[in-house]
Structure 1
Amino acid sequence: MSHSIKVALAFVGLLVGAGFASGQETIQYFLSFGYWGFAGTIVAGLAIVVVGTILFQQGSYYLADDHSAVFTSVSRPIVAGFMDIATMFTLFSIGFVMVAGAGSNLEQQFGFPTWVGAVIMTLALIASGFLDVDKLTGVISAITPLLIIAVIGALMVTIVNMPSDFGALNELSLQNSSAAGVGNSWFLSALNYAALCILVGVSMILVIAGSELNPGKAGLGGLIGGIVFAIMLVILAFVIFANMEGVFGADLPLLKVFDNMHPAVGVAISLIIYLMIYNTAVGMFYGMARRLSASKPQRFRPIYFTVVLIGFALSFIGFADLLSWVYPVIGYLGMAVIVVMVYAWATHRDEIKEETQRRERLTALAGQALDPGEDDLTSTQRAEVEKLATSSHIDDNELWHTVQEGVAADLDADSECDFELTDAPALDPSSEHYDGAPSPSSGSTIAWEAYDSIYGSESPESPESPEKKG
C-alpha cells in the first residue's frame, strides 16, 4: 500500500503545477462559465481518475523506461509516432510555461523581476538532473501534501467567511475569459482540461509506473491519485469562486486568495506554489530527456540540461499569455492520445490481469529465494519461475532479475529481515558493480548459476534436501 500512496502523491504532484497550482487554469477552464464550471470540475475529475488508473497499469505492465516504449506496443507505428510527437510537444511547452509561472509567482508576491523566479527555478531543475527516477518520485511525493494542506486550509477559511451574494460572484466569474478554442461549452472545456492534464503527465506517469513491478499496485496508485486530484479541483474551484472579488484579474489567483487572508500566509503559500510548479516542470523536462536519450542513456544529462536552458529562454513570453493558447492545443492532442490508450487497455485488460498475477507469484518466489530465513528454491520451484517468466511478454531473464531487484530492496528495508543489499550488488542498480540481468547459459531460460551465490545455494538441483539459508 505504501508504494501505491507514493505513486498517488507523485501523480497529483505532476498535475497540480500545470493543472491548478496558480488558479489561473481553474478560472479559464471552469469558472469563466459561472455555476456550470462546477459541473465541469466533476466531469474533468472523473475522466482523470479513469484514465490515470489505466495509464499507470499500462506503464507497469510494459515496465516502461520512457513513453515511446508503451506507445509502440499499443498502436501502429504511425499512431505511435503521432502520440510521441504530441507528448514531446506537450512536455516541452508545459516545461517552459512552468518556468514562466515561477517568474510570475515571485513577481506577484515579492515584486521581483520575472527573470529572478525563472533563474531560481532553472537552477533547481538543473540540480534535479542528477536524481534517478525513484529519488525524483520521492521528491515530488514529499512536496505534494503541502499544497493539499494549503487548499484545505483555504476551504476552511472560506467557509468561515462565506460570501452572502453568490449571484454577484457568478456574474463576475462570467466576465473572465475562457481558454481559447473551447467555444462556449463548459463540457468541452472540462474534457479539454482533463485531456490536457493527462497529456501533461503521461510521460512521467508511464516512467514512474514502469518502476513499479505490479500493475495492480500501480493502478491503485493512479486511482487514489486521481481521486485526490479530482477532490482538490472541486475544492479549488469553490475557493476561488467564493473569493472572486478579490482575485479578479490576477495572474495567480490562488496565491491572491491567500495573500488577501494575511501577507504572511501569502508568503508561505507562494513558496508552496513555487514548489508545485517545480514538480510539474521537472516532470516535463525529465520525461522529455528520458525519451530523447532512450537509445543512448549516457546522454541523458546533457540532453536534459539543454532542454531546461531552452525552456528558460522561452519562458519570457509571459505566463498568462502562454497558458491561454498553449493549454487548449495540448488538450485536443490529449483527447486523441486518450482514445488510443483507453482502447488499448480495454482490448488487453485480461492480459494485464494475468501478468499481475504472474508477477505476484514471481515476487513470492523471489522473496523465498533471497530471504536468509527461508528455504532455498527447489528445482520444481525454479522450473515454475522459468514457466512464469516464459509466459510473460517481458524477456524471461530480464523479468526475473527485475522482480528480484524489487524484492531485494524491500527485504533490505525490512528491519526484521537479515538480508542486506550490500551483500547482493548484482541486485542493486545503484551499485558500481551492477551489470543488469546476467546472461543465461546455453539452453537455459534463467541464469541460475549467476544467482546461486546470492541465494547461498550449494545444491540447487537437489529439491529433496533443500538447505536452510543464513
Structure 2
Amino acid sequence: MFAGAGSNLSQQFNLPFWVGTFGCAMLTILVSFMDFKKITRVLGIFTPIIIVMIFIICAYTFVGKTYDYEALDTVAQTIKSPMPNVFLAVINYYSLCAISAVSMAFVLGGSVVRIGVAEKGGLVGGTVIGLIITCATVTLFANIDNVKDADIPMLQIVKNISPVFSFVYSLTIFALIFNTAFSLFYAFAKRFAGRNKKKLRTVLCISVTIGFCLSFCGFKNLVALMYPILGYIGMLLLAVLLITWIKEKKNILAENLIRKKMIHLAVKKYDEDLDYTKKDKALFHRLGEKSVVDTEEIKSEIKNFVKETGTENLKPSEPESQSQSSDSANN
C-alpha cells in the first residue's frame, strides 16, 4: 500500500517516490491515535466517491466508441503474467481481495451488534465490489495498449479524460490506499494488542516502519511477487472460513437469537411505556453469559446500541413481541 501511494503521487504530480510512501506511513501512525469509530466514518466517505468515478470512467470508455478487441487481446497477450491461466488468476485475485479485507472485516463485524446487519452489509459490499472490478477490468482491457506500462493504469486512463478529473481521482486513490493501509496495519496490531491501546500503537508503529522500508522494493515488483502469493494464502483462508461457517452455523444462529432477545429486553428497560421486571433483568444477564462474547462486554454493547438507535426504532411488531416474550419465558 505504501509503495502504491508513492507511485500514485509520483505518476500524477512527478513527486519523488518516497514522498507518497512517507506521507501514507505517517498518516497511518497519526490516525491510530484518534477515535476508531470516528475514523471509520471518515474513511467510508471515499468509497462511494471512487465507485461513482469508476462508473464514469467506464461510461467514458465505452459510450459511443468501438474497439478492435482482437488487436487488444494481442497486446494483452504480450503482458507477462505470474499466473498460468485467466481462471486461476481470477480466483487468485478474489482471494487476494478477501485476505486483505478479512482482518478489518473481523474488527468491524465484531463491533456490529445485530448479526443480520453484518450479513446484509457483506452481501451488498460484495455485490458492489463485483460490479466495480468488472467495470475496471473491461475499462483497462479497452485501453490496454496505452496503459500496459503504467504503475497505476487507471490513473493513466483518467489523465486522458481531464486534468481536473485526474487530480481529484489521484487524491481519492491516495485516500483509499491510506484507508486500506490503515485497515490492514490496525487490524494486524489489534490481533497482538487486544484492548491495550499503548501496545496497539507500539505494534502498529513498528509494523508501519517495516512496511515503509519494504515499499522501496518498488510497487510493480511487489505486486508481481506478493499478490500471487497472498492470493494462494487467501484461497486457504477462504476454505477455512467456509468449513468453519458450515461447522458453526448452528452456533451462529443461536448467537443471533440471543442478541435479538437481549435487544428486546434492553428496549423494555429504556422504553418508559414498557415494564422491565427483575425477571427481565435476570434473563438479560443469563443471555449475556450464553453469548460467545464476554458477558459484560455484550451487555454494554447491547445497551449502548439501544440507546443510540432509540427504542421506537427497535420495537418489534405485536405478534413478534409476544413470540419473543414466550421464547424468553420458555428459556
Matches within 5 A, 1:324-335: 324-335=224-235
Question: What stretches of structure 2 of length at least 5 have no aligned partner?
Answer: 314-331
Q: Distance in 2 between matches of 1:156 and 1:255?
A: 16
Matched with 1:409 is 308
Aligned to 1:391: 290
Match of 1:380 in 2: 279
| Alpha-carbon distance in 1 for matches of 2:155, 2:66 | 19
Alignment-derived partner of residue 341 in structure 1? 241
Tell me which residue corresponds to 2:251: 351
Post-superposition CA distance 1:96-151 (Å, at most 9, x none): xx111111111111111101111221222122112343223212211111110110
Q: Is the 1:162–1:242 contact (alpha carbons within 8 Å) kept by the matching residues of 2?
A: no
Instruction: Quote the residue 1:189 is aligned against.
Output: 89
Amino acid at match of 1:353: L
Does residue 103 of structure 1 match 2:2? no
Name structure 1 gaps, 5 residues minimum. 1-97, 416-470
The match for 1:212 is 112
Q: Which amino acid aligns with 1:359?
A: R
TM superposition shift of 1:402: 2.2
Residue number in structure 2 paired with 1:360: 260
Are 2:73 and 1:175 aligned? no
The equivalent residue for 1:452 is none
Alpha-carbon offset, residue 255 of structure 1? 0.2
Distance 1:251 1:258, change over 3 A: same
Structure 1 position 295, deviation (Å): 7.1
Conservation of the 8 A alpha-carbon contact between 1:107 and 1:113: yes
Matches of 1:103 and 1:187, distance apart in 2: 31
Q: 1:259 aligns with which of 150, 159, 170?
A: 159
Is residue 137–residue 208 contact of structure 1 (8 Å, CA) maintained in 2? Answer: no
Q: Which TM-score applies when normalising by structure 2? A: 0.89
- Contact 1:246 1:260 (8 Å CA) reproduced: no
Alpha-carbon distance in structure 2 between the residues aligned to 1:395 and 1:283: 24
Task: Quote the residue 1:247 is aligned against.
Answer: 147
For the pair 1:400 / 2:303, whether they are aligned, the reply is no
Q: For residue 177 of structure 2, what is the amino acid of its counterpart? A: I
Question: Counterpart in 1 of 2:49?
Answer: 146
Q: Give the alignment partner of residue 190 of structure 2, picking from 260, 266, 290.
A: 290
In the TM superposition, 1:22-171 aligns within 5 A as 98-171=1-74
Structure 1 residue 254 displacement after superposition: 0.3
Identity %: 33
Please give the alpha-carbon distance, in whole angstroms, between the structure 2 residues aligned to 1:301 and 1:398: 22
Matches of 1:115 and 1:223, distance apart in 2: 38
Task: Please say if residues 148 and 232 of structure 1, whose CA atoms lie closer than 8 Å, have aligned partners that are also in contact.
Answer: yes
More helix by share: 2
Indicate how the Cα distance of structure 1 residues 199 and 383 shifts in structure 2: closer, same or farther if over 3 A, else same.
Answer: same
- Please tell me the root mean square deviation across aligned C-alpha atoms, in Å: 2.0
Letter of the 2:104 counterpart: M
